[in-house]
Structure formats: C-alpha cells, structure tokens
C-alpha cells in the first residue's frame, strides 16, 4: 500500500510497504516527484525487480567474503580469487556500501590496476572479472539494482601468435627426456592433452582395441595441498580422443619398460605415484628443452600446440580441432590458433571461378571456338 501526504513543513511524504511488509518513506518538495518515485517503486515490485534500499548498505568486503565462502572454487582458483580481492579490491572498494559504488568508480579502479599496480592487460582482466562476478551475484541477490561493472574500458590484450613445435623438435625433445618420460612427449603431441590431463591418464582410460583414450580426470598440484586427482577443467574437457599409431607404439614400449596396473597411472614420478608438476619441470622438462635446443620458455603446453597445428595443417575443421582439444567452443580455438589456419583467398577464387566456369568459357570463345579478346573502351 502506498500513499502521499503533505507535511506541516510543506514537504510531501511518500511511503509504501515492500513485499515483506516493511515501510519505506521519502520526502519531496513537489508532489509530482513523490508520485513519480512511488510509481517507479510499484513497477519494480510488480516486475520482480524491486531492491530494498537498505540491502545495498552492506559493504563490498562483507558481501564479497560471503560470496567467496559460498563458491565451490577449486583450490587454485580459490587462492587466486582471494588474492584478487584482498590485494586489489578491498583497499579501494572494501569499506564502501554496495549501492554507493558507481560505474565511474569501477572505471577508475580498473584503470588504477594498470597505472598504480602496473598489472599486465591480461592480469587486469582476470582481476576485474573476479570483482565483476561479485557484483553480478549482488545484483541477483537483490542487494543492488544493477552491476556497476558494465561498459568498463579495459586494456587490450596483445594477441601472441603461437609458434608450434615441428615434428623434428618434438622428437628431439623426447630423445633428451629421461626414459620414463619419453613416451609422455609423444603422447602429449599425439593427443593434445593439457599437462594435468596427461599426468592423470590411467591404463583403464585407454582402449587399445578401438585405439581411443577417454579423458576423465587430471592431476593438479596445489600449494598447501600437494598433488591430487581432480575433475577436469570444464564439461567439454571430458572427451574421447583417437589414438594414432605413433602413440600406440610409444605406449606399448613405455608400458613394457614401466608396467602399470589397470587402475595405475601410465606416467609416474620416479618414486611412484602421480607426477608432481614442479618436480617434473625442474628435474626433467626444462633440462630436456635446453638440451634439445628448443626456445627458452617452452612449456608442456607446446605439445598441445603441436597437436593442434598438425590437425589444422591436415585440413581439420575448427569444430573438430575444438572438440579434440576439449575447448568450450570453437571461438576459443580460433582465438588461439586462428593464424595457423590456411588463408582462404585462393579457395575463394577457385570456388567462384568454378561456379562461373561455363559462362566464362562462352565469354572467352565465340560459337566457333575462336577466342574473343576482351573489348576495351578507348
């Protein structure tokens, strides 16, 4: 129920009760302004967009901590989210009321990530996305009417062109690796698995008869929690990958030298058990990269890039490459590998020429088959 009454001091008092029966009131100099306010509130209640004015008084830090505690983040993600909020967001936004933070405030804060904290463009976007997720949740919880994180200008992220390893480089790397990891290099370049997925492969995931691999888990190293087997990155990461003969042969030799049970890991640490990423990098990968003469900074993802580039060079479609890599969509694949797809200009020319071939022949030749030169206006 809403009403408007004139006060003894000449002000107009507008009041209403929300869906929970709480009374809210405001005073206006003009009756028309009071009526407009009541109309807006009534419309928001009827459309389900109503936000209690007192809900936004909660501070950003208080709400963000509740949001963070409720989110089922993986350990690595949880650590990053906490750092984004405590290091970059709370010092500026933490004590402010949710409803008091404007789009201009968010633009100023986002710009400060570059100017004050000197963060790289990609890091700025990652930190901003964390804070934006908090505000989206606040809007869904009716703490605020809308998120202030819309239409924010963020620094452009320079696109780095992937330079994939050649087959010769992959083989050179495998040759330099310790014996227990040589097949891992071939396996990675022949399946395109992410490093964690590669470490998580168990014998039971391999169907030697059908020559397929079911990607069902990954091994992750988390600070403070050690090495653990966990779910994959996204729903699309769960996939079945065809195994080429070169991978089958490498696996057969590897399992003969390093036998594993049905539920055992194909690739293990020297002391047994799943591979620890940091130890693998320090004691095997970096040394082998240097010995093979590969570019400094070449990481295990280079095997995944080599796989993708081989598929693209063989003419596989974007959709097929995306599915093999376990990407969420083809747009993600193009964002990383667009420069590797062959230029379509020649195909375009051939397609149009083929479509107009009969007409072109009749234009170039007369009825007696004699070629007619093109006419040029003087």
CATH 1.10.8.420 is held by the domain 167-339: no
pLDDT at 233: 83
Question: Residue 266: is it exposed, middle or buried by C-beta count within 10 angstroms (0-12/13-18/19+)?
Answer: buried
Q: What is the C-alpha end-to-end distance of the chain, expressed in Å?
A: 85
Cα-based distances in Å from 291 to 9, 39, 188, 250, 267: 87, 74, 19, 21, 22
| Tokens (6 digits) for 323 | 């599915």
pLDDT at 365: 55
pLDDT at 7: 87
Q: Which has more confidence, 359 or 10?
A: 10
The pLDDT tens digits for 141-188 are 888 888 999 999 999 988 788 899 999 999 999 999 999 999 999 999
301 has a pLDDT exceeding 90: yes
CB atoms within 10 A of CB 263: 8
Q: How many CA atoms lie within 13 A of 200 on its CB side?
A: 23
Q: Is the entire prediction scored with pTM above 0.75?
A: no
Residue 210 pLDDT level (bands cut at 50, 70, 90): very high
**Which are the contacts of 5, defined by CB distance < 8 A and separation ≥ 6?**
12, 13
pLDDT at 340: 87
| Tokens (6 digits) for 19 | 């869906």
Crossing angle of helices 182-191 and 301-313, rounded to 10°: 40
30 has a pLDDT exceeding 70: yes
47 has a pLDDT exceeding 70: no
Residue 191 pLDDT level (bands cut at 50, 70, 90): very high
The pLDDT tens digits for 53-86 are 666 688 999 999 999 999 988 877 888 999 999 9
Residue 366 pLDDT level (bands cut at 50, 70, 90): low
Q: Over range 232-259, report the average pLDDT.
A: 95
What mean pLDDT, rounded, does the chain reach?
Answer: 88
Identify which of 141, 113, 142, 118 has the alpha carbon closest to the alpha carbon of residue 129. 113
CB atoms within 10 A of CB 112: 14
Lowest mean pLDDT, pick from 186-195, 211-220, 288-297, 347-356: 347-356
14 has a pLDDT exceeding 80: yes
pLDDT at 364: 57
CA 165 to CA 47: how far, in whole Å?
57
- Backbone φ and ψ of 76, nearest 5°: -65, -40
Runs of H (alpha helix) within the chain: 31-46, 60-70, 75-83, 90-93, 103-115, 121-140, 167-176, 182-191, 195-199, 245-257, 277-280, 286-291, 301-313, 318-325, 330-337, 345-355, 357-364
Under CATH, what is the fold of the domain 57-140? DNA polymerase; domain 1 (1.10.150)
Q: Over range 186-200, report the average pLDDT.
A: 97
């Amino acid at each position: 129920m809403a009403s408007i009454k004139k006060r003894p001091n000449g002000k107009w008092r507008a009041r209403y009760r929300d869906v929970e029966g709480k009374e809210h009131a405001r005073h206006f100099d003009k009756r028309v302004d009071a009526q407009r306010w009541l109309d807006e509130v009534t419309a928001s209640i009827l459309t389900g967009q109503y936000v209690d004015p007192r809900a936004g008084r909660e501070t950003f830090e208080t709400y963000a901590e509740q949001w963070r505690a409720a989110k089922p983040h993986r350990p690595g993600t949880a650590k990053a989210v906490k750092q984004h909020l405590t290091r970059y967001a709370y010092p500026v936004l933490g004590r402010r009321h949710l409803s008091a933070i404007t789009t201009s405030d968010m633009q100023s804060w986002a710009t400060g990530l570059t100017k004050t904290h000197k963060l790289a463009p990609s890091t700025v976007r990652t930190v901003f996305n964390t804070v934006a997720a908090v505000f989206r949740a606040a809007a869904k919880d009716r703490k605020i009417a809308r998120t202030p994180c819309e239409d924010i200008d963020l620094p452009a992220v320079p696109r780095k062109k992937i330079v994939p390893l050649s087959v010769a480089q992959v083989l050179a790397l495998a040759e330099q690796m310790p014996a227990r990891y040589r097949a891992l290099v071939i396996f990675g370049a022949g399946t395109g698995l992410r490093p964690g997925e590669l470490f998580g492969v168990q014998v039971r995931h391999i169907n030697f008869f059908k020559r397929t691999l079911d990607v069902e888990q990954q091994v992750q190293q988390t600070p403070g929690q050690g090495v653990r087997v966990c779910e994959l990155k996204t729903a699309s990461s769960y996939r079945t990958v065809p195994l080429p003969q070169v991978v089958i042969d490498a696996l057969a030799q590897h399992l003969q030298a390093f036998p594993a049970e049905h539920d055992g890991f194909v690739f293990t640490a020297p002391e047994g058990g799943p591979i620890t990423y940091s130890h693998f990098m320090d004691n095997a990968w970096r040394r082998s990269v240097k010995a093979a003469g590969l570019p400094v900074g070449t990481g295990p993802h280079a095997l995944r890039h080599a796989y993708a580039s081989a598929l693209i060079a063989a003419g596989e479609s974007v959709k097929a490459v995306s599915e093999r890599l376990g990407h969420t969509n083809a747009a993600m694949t193009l964002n990383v590998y667009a420069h590797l797809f062959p230029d379509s200009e020649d195909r375009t020319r051939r397609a149009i020429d083929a479509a107009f071939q009969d007409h072109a022949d009749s234009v170039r030749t007369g009825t007696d088959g004699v070629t007619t030169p093109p006419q040029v206006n003087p």
